[in-house]
Structures are given as C-alpha cells and as structure tokens.
A and B are shown apart, each in its own frame.
Chain A
Amino acid sequence: MQREVKFAGFGGQGILSAGHFLANAALEEGKEVAWVPSYGPEMRGGTAYCTVVIADHPIGSPIVNNPADLVAMNRPSLEKFEPTVREGGFILVNSSLIPDRVKRKDVTEILIPANDTAIELGNNKGANMVALGAYIACTGVVKLDTVVALMPEAFARKPQFVEANIACIRQGVKLAKQSLEAVL
C-alpha cells in the first residue's frame, strides 16, 4: 500500500501543518511516511504545498509527480495540480475560495467550504483542519481518532485551540461524508 496526497494553497493557510498532522498520524499508526515541503524561493502569501507519502513499506522516491489525491485550498493550486492527480483519486476543493469545479471525470471531486466552515465554528484559521478531516474521511488513510489524539500535544502551548481544531476536523469529516454520499 502506498498513497500520496498533495496539500496546496498559499502561505499562511496551514498547508504544511495540515500535511504534518497527517504524517504524524501515519507514524503513530506504525506506517512509513515522508513529508516533503515545497521550499523554493517563496514569499509570504506565495504558493505553498507539501506532499505526504504514506506506505506500509519503506518509501523509495519521496518526490511524486502524480499523487493519488489533491487537497486544493486556493484557485491557482487547483489549476496547477488538477492535471497531475492519478486516475481514480480524490480532489478536495476548498469551495470557500475556489469558484471553479474539477474538469476531469476520472477523479472524484469533493467540494468543502473549508474557510466558511472554520469561520462558522469560530476558528478562523481552522480551514486547513476542516480540509484535513475531509481528506481522512474520503480516504481512510489514517484513523480520525489518531489525528484527534495528536491535538492536545500539538497545541500544548495554546490549549484554547485544541477543541476548536478538533471541531473543525470533525466537521470536515461530516461534510466529506455528505459529499461522498451525493457522488457515490
């Protein structure tokens, strides 16, 4: 088993940390994992993306040109990476910021209003967590409980964000399940 996902958006959206949580959850579950950031000469607000590779065997190439899935948090990311996703994968679209739809028919589009959902839950910066929850719900690549269990330690210095982020993750799961039921 090997599955790769690209989280992509702009700097400040929590792209790298969403991938980091997923990678840590995979490690907790005893899986092999590689987290590869983009580290080109970027500016604040510029594009940011990371790839997380999760496998049950040692990971060879950590660079994956054609990931299984994509989580697109802004419009340029969807435009740039939609063509790279492998057939049969999921493309999660942050519909709060992206008015476009996925053009391809050989992948499953999941629309998640990540920013609107986070704002509704009173956690303005939690859009990445909504998307993370949605991704986990779609793929089951790690267990929801594993990710939730990471939160207290990850936000040990800001304990007020633990429950807020868990709420975002759970809402992401719920939205993805609704969306999946609609498409399947």
Chain B
Amino acid sequence: MAKQLMKGNEAIGEAAIRAGATRYFAYPITPQTEVAEYLARRLPEVGGVFVQAESELGASNMIFGAASSGKRVFTSSSSPGISLMSEALSYITCAELPCVFINVCRAGPGLGGILPSQGDYFQATHASGHGDFHLIVLAPSTVQEAVEHMMTAFDLADRYRNPVMIFADGLIGQMMEPVDFEAVKSGEAVDHSSWATTGAKGRKPHIIKTLYLNPNDNEAHNVHLAEKYAGIRANEQRSELYGGLGSPELILTAFGTAARVCKTAIDVLNEQGVDIALFRPITIYPFPADALDKLSRKQHVKRLLSVEMNNGQMVEDVKLFTGNRKPIDFFGRQGGIVPSPEEVIERVRALLDGKKKPAKERPAEAK
C-alpha cells in the first residue's frame, strides 16, 4: 500500500491494531486524545474493544487486568495522566505482564501546558513508579518511527513480560507525516498460556500477584527482575549516528523531536565544513550506553552537547555512561518550546569558536 498522510496519534493507534492489539483502555488528555478518538471509530471495525475509563487510574488498572489474560493490550496518555498511571505501572511490572503504555509528553510540571516536551525523561527511564523496576522505553522521532516502535513495543513486551513505553511528544502526536504500514511488521503474539489467567477449567488456577510479605521471597523476586533488566540492558540498546564529515569534533546527543532539530542543524553545519554529528538514543531505557561510550572514547571527539526539551535530564545519563571523560554541555528549551535549528547552531558555534571554556560542573576525569 502506498504511503498515507497521518497524524502521529492516529498512526500510533493504527499501528497498534496492525500489531494485533485490539484491547485499549484510556482516558482523554491533550495532546494525545486523537489516539482514543481514532480507536473509538476503528476498533469496532476489527472486533476490538475500547473502554473509556473514568480516569487514568481506572484505565491503567483495566490494563493490569486485561494484560493478565496475555492478550496484547495498550493505553495512551500524556504527562499528568502518566503520573496517575504510575502506581499501576509498578504493579504491572512486578506482576510481569506484557503491555504497552504511550506517553505523548507535554510540558510540566503540574498541569503545565499542552505543548511538546521531554520533561518526563527521568520519570520514564528512572522513576515510573515505586519500587525497583524498569520499563523498556522507545523514543520515536518521526511519525513513521512511532509506527515501527508500536510494532516493536508489543514484541518486546511479549518477550520480556514487561511493560514497554512509547515516549513521544506533543509534536509527534499532532503533526502529519507520510506513513507506510506495510514497511514494518510486528511479530506473532507469544504463547502466554503457561501463566495467563484465561479460565482455570481443567487446569490449576494461574495466580498473578504483587504481594510478597516474606522478605526472602520478595528479594528473590527482585533478583529475578534485576536479572531480566540486565538482559534488557545487554540486548535491547538501540541508537543512531547521524551526519559528520568523518571525524566529528563535537557530538550532539538528542532524542525524539529534539534529535530532528539537531539533524537540521547538523546538515547546515556539515555543509559549511563543520564536522559534528548526532548520537540519537532510540531506546532511552535501556540507554544505548555501549555505543555512546565507544564513540566518546574516539580521539577526534572533543566534547558533547546534549539538546533536550527539558531542563537537562538525559544529559545525566550522557555523563554517567561516558564516564565524564569529555566536556559535556547542555542546551534545552522548556515550557513547551521546541528549540530551533538556529539556536542549536548558535550554541555549537559558541562552543567551537574560541569560547571553549570547560563544561560546568565537570568533576575530575574518571579513572
């Protein structure tokens, strides 16, 4: 089928259906309501179900219940709504249930605004709820990539029995771009009959629980989960290296919409002979630490600049996973403002043209 022009939110909804997910529970919130609007119309056509819950708490706990059946289930929300879902995310991850959460991130904190933001990076990658757990988090930077990520997300959720989050932002949700659904496929749903609660007729009941009152049992479960996350970190890091003229002196690090802005800045600067490149994490959990570490060790790489739509969140991971061996600077816009390529170019030029003062807060070289 030919490419079609689609809004990010609608494309995400369609991609989920094509990945075999026909159970969707959600509560409206700007800028992602078109996901629900689209699915309200589309799901009945494919024999699916959309329940509009009474709140995000309701929706996320419906996911908890429905995911227990082993079926492909998903929900979508935006920042304040995701915060309300954090309790359920913790329970679902503890219970090891596959499902997909979509965060079309808007500007916070609090009710904030409805414009695009990446302010939920810490929340998505480090603190999605209470307790010791991680989500797998994919961060698309185009509408087409959001479609691909929906397909991948269900496969990863099935493989690891863990919730997967799509971390988009208001711009990716609202803009229209050409999408090709035929270009990507989701794998077949995995057989979950060994644990799923599908009716115990003729077999022993399956029990899904998150309560471990015995500390030894609870520790054993936590160790098991930690081993799973170690496997995810070892096998699921995804990233892209863009631009450069062979031996880039400066590496921009950015994901999602901010990465697209950086690509335009890099195209302009490369054209002018300035050798800089972009390192774009595609998974933000697991952070693509190995590839960035390797890149940052290259002699020609003199410094890094993290460009984000927040106050400086991913830059912490950039520092951590490169051992702070090169100066690392940060440039961000907040409040729903998307940085412009011109601003990024200006910042890069300031760093490269003479004003090479070391990045602030840089501790001694890691050994």
Contact = CB atoms under 8 A, between A and B. Distances in A.
7 nearest A-B residue pairs (beta carbon): A60-B264, A35-B176, A60-B263, A61-B264, A61-B261, A36-B175, A63-B338
Contact of A40 (B3, B114, B257, B341): B114
A27 B179 CA distance: 10
B178 A27 contact: yes
Contact of B176 (A23, A41, A63, A65): A23
Interface residues of B, number: 26
A33 B171 CA distance: 15
A20 interface: yes
A34 B264 contact: no
Interface string B248-273: 00000000010011111101000000
Contacts of B176: 20, 23, 34-36
Contact of A60 (B3, B171, B177, B341): B341
Most A CB within 10 A of own CB, among B31, B176, B178, B267: B176
Interface in B308-343: 338, 340-342
Contacts of A33: 5, 177-178
Interface of B: 3-5, 30-31, 114-115, 170-171, 174-178, 257, 260-265, 267, 338, 340-342
Interface string A61-76: 1110100000000000
Given A61-B261, A63-B171, 16 more contacts: A27-B178, A33-B5, A33-B177, A34-B177, A35-B176, A35-B177, A36-B171, A36-B175, A36-B176, A39-B31, A39-B170, A60-B262, A60-B264, A61-B338, A65-B340, A65-B342
B352 to A, nearest CB: 20
Contacts of B263: 60-61
A179 interface: no
A24 B171 CA distance: 19
B171 A62 contact: yes
A63 B174 CA distance: 12
B319 to A, nearest CB: 26
A181 B18 CA distance: 51
B264 A37 contact: no
A32 B178 contact: yes
Contact of A34 (B31, B175, B261): B175
Contacts of A37: 174-175
28 contacts: A20-B5, A20-B176, A24-B5, A27-B5, A33-B5, A33-B178, A34-B175, A34-B176, A35-B5, A35-B175, A36-B171, A37-B174, A37-B175, A39-B115, A40-B114, A40-B115, A41-B114, A59-B177, A60-B263, A61-B260, A61-B265, A61-B341, A62-B171, A62-B175, A62-B257, A62-B260, A63-B171, A63-B338
Contacts of A61: 260-261, 263-265, 338, 340-341
A181 B257 CA distance: 41
A63 B342 CA distance: 11
Contacts of B260: 59-62
Interface string A19-45: 010011001000011111101110000
A15 B263 CA distance: 29
Contact of A39 (B174, B264, B267, B338): B174
B140 to A, nearest CB: 13
Nearest to B115: A40
A32 B144 CA distance: 12
A27 B257 CA distance: 21
A63 B115 contact: no
A41 B178 CA distance: 26
Given A35-B5, A40-B114, A63 B170 contact: no
Contacts of B264: 60-61
Contacts of B177: 33-35, 59, 62
Contacts of A34: 175-177
Most B CB within 10 A of own CB, among A24, A32, A36, A39: A39
A24 B2 CA distance: 12
Contacts of A27: 3-5, 178
A65 B115 CA distance: 16
B280 to A, nearest CB: 12
Nearest to A2: B264
B173 to A, nearest CB: 9
A1 to B, nearest CB: 13
Given A20-B176, A36-B174, A63 B114 contact: no
A23 B171 contact: no
A182 to B, nearest CB: 34
B108 to A, nearest CB: 16
A34 B262 CA distance: 17
Nearest to B175: A36
A158 to B, nearest CB: 19
